[in-house]
Amino acid sequence: GAGVSQSPSNKVTEKGKDVELRCDPISGHTALYWYRQSLGQGLEFLIYFQGNSAPDKSGLPSDRFSAERTGGSVSTLTIQRTQQEDSAVYLCASSKMGGLYQPQHFGDGTRLSIL
């Protein structure tokens, strides 16, 4: 597709369940970011993948959060044992690296609601 694709667009689950959120970046984009955005708040950085380098996980809020990126393309963010405070919109962004810096392109996000 032409843009960053995220799925599902909405996810409602019970507290304590695990969830997986998916991000398909723009083809050829080697950098991929995950952010969390609570209602009316800013972009909270979670994790950054850049090519084959080790990911920057410094923003993950707890060990219940993990992410992987397979084959340098699709990424999955996993939240284990979800809590109500995990409710937020999770945004993925990708960019092309190399040469002049390229801007990030965001997906529409996954709205996660924990009951």
Partner 1 sequence: GENVEQHPSTLSVQEGDSAVIKCTYSDSASNYFPWYKQELGKRPQLIIDIRSNVGEKKDQRIAVTLNKTAKHFSLHITETQPEDSAVYFCAATKNRDDKIIFGKGTRLHILP
Q: Is 28 left (phi over 0), alpha (psi -120 to 50) or beta?
A: left
What is the edge-to-edge ordering of all strands in the sheet holding 65-69? Answer: 5-7, 19-24, 75-79, 65-69
Assess 101 for contact with partner 1 (CB under 8 A).
yes
What residues between 51 and 90 interact with partner 1 by CB under 8 A?
Answer: 51, 53, 56
Among 19, 34, 36, 48, binds partner 1 (CB under 8 A): 48
Assess 45 for contact with partner 1 (CB under 8 A).
yes
Stretch binding partner 1 (CB under 8 A), from 12-20, 21-29, 46-54, 71-79: 46-54
| C-alpha distance from residue 64 to each of 18, 19, 57, 58, 60 (Å) | 9, 11, 13, 14, 9
Chain residues binding partner 1 by CB under 8 A are: 33, 41-43, 45, 48, 50-51, 53, 56, 91, 93, 95, 97-101, 103-109
